[in-house]
Amino acid sequence: MATNIVPGKAYGFFTDTSVCIGCKACEVACKEWNQLPATDKGFLGESLDNTGTLDGQNWRHVKFIDNVPDETMGNGNGKPFLLMSDVCKHCTHASCMDVCPTGAIIRTEFDTVFIQGSVCNGCRNCIAACPYDVIDIDPEQDVARKCTLCYDRLQGGMEPACAKACPTESIQFGPLDELRAKAERRLAQVHAGGTSEANLYGHDDKVYGGLHAFFLLMDKPEVYKLPRAEDAVLPQRNNLGGYLGVVGTAVVAVFGAIFALRNRGSVARATPPPEAPPPEATP
Amino acid sequence: MTIIAATEHFAGPPEWTWYILFYFFLAGVAGGSYFLATLLRYWGAPADEAVARIGFYVAFPATLLGLLLLTLDLKQPLRFWHMLFNTTPGQFGLNFNSSTPMSVGVWALLVASVFAAVSFLDALARDRRSRALLDGAVGMAWSVVGSVVYLFIAGYTGVLLAVSNQPIWSDSWALGGLFLASGLSGAAALLLLLSRYRSGAESTRGMLELSERLFTVLELVLLVIVLLTLIDDGTLGKALSFPWVLLWLAALVGMLPALAGLTARRFRVGSGGTLAAGRVQALVLGPTLVLLGVLALRAWVIFAAQH
Ligand code: SF4
Ligand code: SF4
> Same structural domain for residues A30 and A162?
yes
Q: Angle CA(A39)–CA(A42)–CA(A46) in degrees, nearest 5?
A: 90
Q: Which atom of ligand 2 is nearest to the CA of A122?
A: 1
> Same structural domain for residues A253 and A126?
no
CATH number at residue A173: 3.30.70.20
pTM over the 0.90 mark: yes
> What is the per-residue pLDDT across B210-240, written as a single tens digit (0 to 9) for each?
999 999 999 999 999 999 999 988 899 999 9
Nearest CA in chain A to B281: A272
Q: Is residue A4 part of a domain?
A: no
CA distance A212 to chain B (A): 19
- Whether the per-residue pLDDT at B283 is higher than 80: the answer is no
For atom 2 of ligand 1, which residue has the closest CA? A130
Q: Is residue A136 part of a domain?
A: yes
Partnered with residue A124 across adjacent β-strands are none
Residue closest to A22 by CA, chosen among A167, A148, A150:
A167
Range of the domain at A245: 237-268
Domain count of the fold of chain A: 2
Q: What pLDDT shows up at residue A43? A: 76
> What is the per-residue pLDDT across A99-128, written as a single tens digit (0 to 9) for each?
999 999 999 999 999 999 999 999 999 999
Residues 27-46 of chain B with CB under 8 A from chain A are 35-36, 39-40, 43-45
Instruction: Please provide the average confidence, as pLDDT, over all residues in chain A.
Output: 89
Average pLDDT, integer, range A165-184: 97
Q: Is residue A242 part of a domain?
A: yes
Q: Is residue A277 part of a domain?
A: no
pLDDT category, A71, cuts 50, 70, 90?
Answer: low
> Same structural domain for residues A122 and A104?
yes
Q: Is residue A199 part of a domain?
A: yes
- Whether the per-residue pLDDT at B180 is higher than 50: the answer is yes
> Same structural domain for residues A195 and A227?
yes
* ipTM tops 0.90: yes
Residues 130-149 of chain B with CB under 8 A from chain A are none
With a 6 Å cutoff on the Cβ, whether A213 touches ligand 2 is: no
Q: What pLDDT shows up at residue B80? A: 96
- Whether the per-residue pLDDT at A34 is higher than 70: the answer is yes
Element spanning B66, H or E: helix B49-73
- Whether the per-residue pLDDT at B273 is higher than 60: the answer is no
> What is the per-residue pLDDT across B77-86, written as a single tens digit (0 to 9) for each?
999 999 999 9
Q: Is residue A18 part of a domain?
A: yes
Average pLDDT, integer, range B189-200: 93
Cα atoms found within 13 Å of the Cα of residue B221, Cβ hemisphere only: 14
Q: What pLDDT shows up at residue A48? A: 81
Cα atoms found within 13 Å of the Cα of residue B106, Cβ hemisphere only: 22
Residues of B with CB below 8 A from A251's CB?
none
> Same structural domain for residues A47 and A187?
yes
> Same structural domain for residues A246 and A137?
no
Cα atoms found within 13 Å of the Cα of residue A195, Cβ hemisphere only: 17
Tell me, yes or no, if A223 comes closer than 8 A to chain B by beta carbon. Answer: no
For ligand 2, the distance from its centroid to the CA atom of residue A122, given in whole angstroms, is 5
- Whether the per-residue pLDDT at A45 is higher than 90: the answer is no
> Same structural domain for residues A90 and A117?
yes
Other beta carbons within 10 Å of B238: 16
Concatenating the DSSP letter of every residue in B166-189 gives: -TTGGG-S-HHHHHHHHHHHHHHH
- Whether the per-residue pLDDT at B57 is higher than 50: the answer is yes
> Same structural domain for residues A241 and A214?
no
Q: Is residue A215 part of a domain?
A: yes
pLDDT category, A154, cuts 50, 70, 90?
Answer: very high
> Same structural domain for residues A156 and A242?
no
Q: How far is CA A260 from CA A187, A244, A253, B294, B301, in A?
A: 67, 24, 10, 20, 29
CATH H superfamily, domain B2-304: Formate dehydrogenase/DMSO reductase domain (1.20.1630.10)
With a 6 Å cutoff on the Cβ, whether A129 touches ligand 2 is: no
Q: What pLDDT shows up at residue A69? A: 64
Other beta carbons within 10 Å of A277: 10
Concatenating the DSSP letter of every residue in A98-109 gives: HH-SSS-EEE-T
- Whether the per-residue pLDDT at A72 is higher than 50: the answer is yes
Nearest CA in chain A to B15: A124
Nearest CA in chain A to B152: A246
> What is the per-residue pLDDT across B114-141, written as a single tens digit (0 to 9) for each?
999 999 999 999 999 778 888 889 999 9
Cα pseudo-dihedral B111, B117, B120, B121, rounded to 10: -140
Q: What pLDDT shows up at residue A49? A: 85
Residues of A with CB below 8 A from B281's CB?
272
> Same structural domain for residues A167 and A244?
no
Q: Angle CA(A7)–CA(A10)–CA(A16) in degrees, nearest 5?
A: 130
CA distance A150 to chain B (A): 19
Please name the member of A125, A133, A268 whose beta carbon is closest to the beta carbon of B12.
Answer: A133
Average pLDDT, integer, range B252-264: 85
